Amino acid sequence: MHYVYVLRSTVDNKFYTGYSADLKERLVAHNKGSVSSTKERRPLELIYYEACVTKEDAMHREKYLKTFHGKSYIRRRNKSYLTG
């Protein structure tokens, strides 16, 4: 399985979207500072993920979630969590 995930920075409340074959290990890497694009935005929390059968499906879904419509989808799906 491959996973598409969305992280939220507790520093600036911005989202980071990515994909990985090992979600748990990738989250550890993000929070240890091993990922340059999120290093300055730690700590990060997982707010959403999806499982995909193939890497290509995960990459396609990641690309969608990074669009305006994809970001709106994530906000709607997590509305009660994000607003408290």
Range 2-83 classified under CATH 3.40.1440: yes
Q: Give the pLDDT mean for 57-74.
A: 97
10-61 pLDDT, tens digit each: 999 999 999 999 999 999 999 999 999 999 999 999 999 999 999 999 999 9
Residue 76: DSSP 8-state? H
Q: Are 35 and 29 in contact (CB under 8 A)?
A: yes
Binning pLDDT at 50, 70 and 90, where does residue 8 land? very high
Q: What pLDDT score was predicted for residue 84? A: 64
- The domain locations on the chain are 2-83
More confident call, 19 vs 80: 19
Q: What are the two backbone dihedrals, phi and then psi, of residue 4, each rounded to the nearest 5 degrees?
A: -105, 135
| Residue 80 pLDDT grade (very low, low, confident, very high; cuts 50, 70, 90) | confident
